[in-house]
A and B are shown apart, each in its own frame.
Chain A
Amino acid sequence: MTVSKTKRVVLGAITLCLTLACGLAFAESMSWNLTEGVTPTSKKVYDLHMIILYIVTAIGIAVFAVMCWSIYFHRKSRGAIAEQFHHSTFAEITWTIIPIIILIVMAIPATKTLIFMEQTGDAEMTIKVTGYQWKWKYDYLEEDISFFSTLKEDSNEARQRYASTRPEDVENYLLDVDNYVVVPVDTKIRILTTASDVNHAWWVPDLGWKRDAIPGFINDNWTFIEKEGVYRGQCAELCGKDHGFMPIVVKAVSKEDYAAWVQEMKGNARVAAATPVEEIAVEELLMKGKRLYNSNCAACHMPEGEGVDGLFPALAGSAIANGEAEGFAHQILNGKNMMPPFKDQLSDTDIASVMTYVRNSWGNAADAVQPAAVNAAR
Chain B
Amino acid sequence: MSEAVAHDDHHDHKPTGIGRWLFSTNHKDIGTMYLVFSLIMFFVGGAMAMVIRAELFQPGLQFVDPQFFNSMTTVHALVMIFGALMPAGVGLANWMIPMMIGAPDMAMPRMNNMSFWILPFAFTLLLLTFFMPGGAPAGGWTMYPPLVLQLGDGFPFLIFAVHFLGVSSIMGAINIIATVFNMRAPGMTFMRLPLFVWTWIITAFLLIASMPVLAGAVTMLLTDKYFGTAFFNAAGGGDPVLFQHIFWFFGHPEVYILVLPSFGIISQVIPTFSRKPLFGYASMVYATASIAFLSFFVWAHHMFTVGMPLTGELFFMYATMSIAVPTGVKIFNWMATMWKGSMTFETPMLFSIGVLFMFSIGGFSGLMMGITPVDFQYHDTYFIVAHFHYVIVPGIIYGVFAGVYYWLPKWTGVMYDEKLGKLHFWLSTISVNVLFFPMHFIGLAGMPRRIPDYNTIFTGWNQIISIGGFAFGLSQLILVWVVIKCARGQGEKATDQVWESAHGLEWTLSSPPPFHSFTTPPQVTDATAHS
A touches B in complex, CB < 8 A: yes
Q: A44-B373, A60-B360, A74-B342 are in contact. Are A163 and B134 (CB under 8 A)?
A: no
Quick check: B240 and A215 within 8 Å, CB to CB? yes
Apart from A114-B372, A217-B241, 14 more pairs, CB < 8 Å = A5-B345, A56-B365, A56-B367, A60-B364, A63-B331, A66-B339, A80-B343, A91-B332, A203-B448, A214-B241, A238-B147, A240-B70, A240-B147, A245-B453
* Any B CB within 8 A of the CB of A49: yes
Q: How far is the CA of A161 from the CA of B144 in the complex (A)?
A: 28
What sequence of 0s and 1s flags, for each residue 229-265 of chain A, a beta carbon within 8 Å of any chain B beta carbon? Answer: 0000111111111111100000000000000000000
Residues of B contacting A91 in the complex (Cβ-Cβ under 8 angstroms): 332, 336
User: In chain B, what residue has the closest Cβ to A104?
Assistant: B321
The stretch from A194-202, A273-281, A288-296, A367-375 touching chain B is A194-202
Quick check: A49 and B377 within 8 Å, CB to CB? yes
User: In chain A, what residue has the closest Cβ to B326?
Assistant: A96
Q: A96-B329, A217-B234, A310-B152 are in contact. Are A211 and B307 (CB under 8 A)?
A: yes
Q: How far is the CA of A31 from the CA of B241 in the complex (A)?
A: 34
* Any B CB within 8 A of the CB of A268: no
CB distance from A1 to the nearest CB of B (A): 6
Quick check: A198 and B234 within 8 Å, CB to CB? no
Q: How far is the CA of A111 from the CA of B318 in the complex (A)?
A: 9
Give the residue of B134, B321, B332, B376 whose beta carbon is less than 8 angstroms from that of A103. Answer: B321
Q: A92-B280, A103-B324, A234-B448 are in contact. Are A45 and B353 (CB under 8 A)?
A: no
The main secondary structure of chain B at its interface with chain A is: helix
Interfacial residues of chain B within 469-524, with CB under 8 A of chain A in the complex? none
What sequence of 0s and 1s flags, for each residue 318-361 of chain B, a beta carbon within 8 Å of any chain A beta carbon? Answer: 10011011001101110111111111111000100100111011
* Any A CB within 8 A of the CB of B455: yes
Q: A118-B310, A198-B150 are in contact. Are A75 and B280 (CB under 8 A)?
A: no
Q: How far is the CA of A49 from the CA of B454 in the complex (A)?
A: 24
Q: How far is the CA of A235 from the CA of B335 in the complex (A)?
A: 43
User: In chain A, what residue has the closest Cβ to B446?
Assistant: A205
* Any A CB within 8 A of the CB of B451: yes
* Any A CB within 8 A of the CB of B374: yes
Quick check: A158 and B344 within 8 Å, CB to CB? no
The stretch from A32-40, A135-143, A323-331, A343-351 touching chain B is A32-40
Interface pairs A-B: 9 shortest CB-CB:
A216-B234, A310-B133, A310-B134, A244-B451, A219-B307, A32-B441, A310-B152, A167-B59, A82-B342
Sorting the interface of chain B by its residue count into under 10, 10 to 19, 20 to 34 or 35 or more gives 35 or more
Quick check: B456 and A212 within 8 Å, CB to CB? no
Interfacial residues of chain A within 70-97, with CB under 8 A of chain B in the complex? 70-71, 74-77, 80-88, 91-92, 95-96
* Any A CB within 8 A of the CB of B249: no
Question: How many residues of A are counted as interface, with CB atoms below 8 angstroms from the partner's CB atoms?
Answer: 110
* Any A CB within 8 A of the CB of B212: no
Tell me the total A-B contact number using a CB cutoff of 8 A.
Answer: 323
* Any B CB within 8 A of the CB of A366: no
Q: A76-B342, A212-B306, A338-B150 are in contact. Are A84 and B277 (CB under 8 A)?
A: yes
Residues of A contacting B283 in the complex (Cβ-Cβ under 8 angstroms): 92
User: In chain A, what residue has the closest Cβ to B275?
Assistant: A82
Q: A32-B444, A76-B343 are in contact. Are A53 and B368 (CB under 8 A)?
A: yes
Q: How far is the CA of A174 from the CA of B380 in the complex (A)?
A: 17
CB distance from B481 to the nearest CB of A (A): 20
Quick check: A33 and B445 within 8 Å, CB to CB? yes
Quick check: A32 and B442 within 8 Å, CB to CB? yes
Interfacial residues of chain A within 163-198, with CB under 8 A of chain B in the complex? 163, 166-168, 172-175, 197-198
Quick check: B357 and A67 within 8 Å, CB to CB? yes
Residues of B contacting A82 in the complex (Cβ-Cβ under 8 angstroms): 274-276, 340-342
Residues of B contacting A205 in the complex (Cβ-Cβ under 8 angstroms): 377, 446
Quick check: B280 and A5 within 8 Å, CB to CB? no
What sequence of 0s and 1s flags, for each residue 101-137 of chain A, a beta carbon within 8 Å of any chain B beta carbon? Answer: 0010011001101110110000000000000000000
Give the residue of B306, B328, B341 whose beta carbon is less than 8 angstroms from that of A99. Answer: B328
Residues of B contacting A160 in the complex (Cβ-Cβ under 8 angstroms): 61
CB distance from B352 to the nearest CB of A (A): 11
What sequence of 0s and 1s flags, for each residue 138-178 of chain B, a beta carbon within 8 Å of any chain A beta carbon? Answer: 11100010110010110000000000000000000000000
* Any A CB within 8 A of the CB of B250: no
Quick check: B146 and A111 within 8 Å, CB to CB? no
CB distance from A309 to the nearest CB of B (A): 5
Quick check: A174 and B455 within 8 Å, CB to CB? yes
Quick check: A56 and B368 within 8 Å, CB to CB? yes
Q: How far is the CA of A347 from the CA of B141 in the complex (A)?
A: 39
Residues of A contacting B426 in the complex (Cβ-Cβ under 8 angstroms): 8, 12
* Any A CB within 8 A of the CB of B389: no
Quick check: B60 and A158 within 8 Å, CB to CB? yes
* Any B CB within 8 A of the CB of A342: no
Residues of B contacting A197 in the complex (Cβ-Cβ under 8 angstroms): 146
* Any A CB within 8 A of the CB of B528: no
Quick check: B329 and A92 within 8 Å, CB to CB? yes
* Any A CB within 8 A of the CB of B440: yes
Quick check: A111 and B306 within 8 Å, CB to CB? no
Quick check: A113 and B307 within 8 Å, CB to CB? no
Give the residue of B322, B344, B456 whose beta carbon is less than 8 angstroms from that of A76. Answer: B344
Quick check: B140 and A238 within 8 Å, CB to CB? yes
Interfacial residues of chain A within 33-68, with CB under 8 A of chain B in the complex? 33-35, 44-45, 48-49, 52-53, 56-57, 59-60, 63-64, 66-67
Q: A44-B373, A86-B280, A212-B306 are in contact. Are A74 and B456 (CB under 8 A)?
A: no
Which residues of A come within 8 Å of B, CB atoms?
1, 5-6, 8-9, 12-13, 16, 19-20, 23, 26-27, 31-35, 44-45, 48-49, 52-53, 56-57, 59-60, 63-64, 66-67, 70-71, 74-77, 80-88, 91-92, 95-96, 99-100, 103, 106-107, 110-111, 113-115, 117-118, 158-161, 163, 166-168, 172-175, 197-199, 201, 203, 205, 208-212, 214-217, 219-220, 233-245, 308-311, 338
Residues of A contacting B310 in the complex (Cβ-Cβ under 8 angstroms): 114-115, 118
Q: Which of A59, A117, A243 has the most CB of B within 10 A?
A: A243
Quick check: B274 and A103 within 8 Å, CB to CB? no
Q: A216-B240, A244-B454, A311-B134 are in contact. Are A198 and B329 (CB under 8 A)?
A: no
* Any A CB within 8 A of the CB of B66: yes
Quick check: A238 and B450 within 8 Å, CB to CB? yes
Quick check: B340 and A48 within 8 Å, CB to CB? no
Give the residue of A86, A161, A212 whose beta carbon is less than 8 angstroms from that of B279. Answer: A86
Residues of B contacting A19 in the complex (Cβ-Cβ under 8 angstroms): 433, 437
* Any A CB within 8 A of the CB of B526: no
Quick check: A49 and B456 within 8 Å, CB to CB? no
Quick check: A161 and B65 within 8 Å, CB to CB? yes
Q: A56-B368, A240-B147, A308-B67 are in contact. Are A16 and B342 (CB under 8 A)?
A: no
Residues of A contacting B379 in the complex (Cβ-Cβ under 8 angstroms): 201, 210, 236
Residues of A contacting B340 in the complex (Cβ-Cβ under 8 angstroms): 70, 74, 80, 82-83, 85
Q: How far is the CA of A175 from the CA of B280 in the complex (A)?
A: 53
Residues of B contacting A233 in the complex (Cβ-Cβ under 8 angstroms): 446
Quick check: B338 and A74 within 8 Å, CB to CB? yes
Residues of B contacting A76 in the complex (Cβ-Cβ under 8 angstroms): 275, 342-344
Quick check: B380 and A110 within 8 Å, CB to CB? no
Quick check: A99 and B324 within 8 Å, CB to CB? yes
Interfacial residues of chain B within 43-73, with CB under 8 A of chain A in the complex? 58-62, 65-67, 70
Q: A23-B440, A27-B444 are in contact. Are A75 and B307 (CB under 8 A)?
A: no
* Any A CB within 8 A of the CB of B411: no
Quick check: A95 and B344 within 8 Å, CB to CB? no
* Selected A-B contacts with CB under 8 Å, 7 pairs: A19-B437, A49-B368, A52-B371, A67-B353, A211-B376, A241-B70, A243-B450
Quick check: A70 and B339 within 8 Å, CB to CB? yes
Give the residue of A70, A163, A198, A211 whose beta carbon is less than 8 angstroms from that of B338. Answer: A70
Q: A9-B350, A82-B342 are in contact. Are A159 and B374 (CB under 8 A)?
A: no
What sequence of 0s and 1s flags, for each residue 297-323 of chain B, a beta carbon within 8 Å of any chain A beta carbon? Answer: 000000001110010011001100110
* Any A CB within 8 A of the CB of B233: yes
Interfacial residues of chain B within 185-224, with CB under 8 A of chain A in the complex? none
Quick check: A214 and B306 within 8 Å, CB to CB? yes
Quick check: A238 and B338 within 8 Å, CB to CB? no
User: In chain A, what residue has the closest Cβ to B303?
Assistant: A212
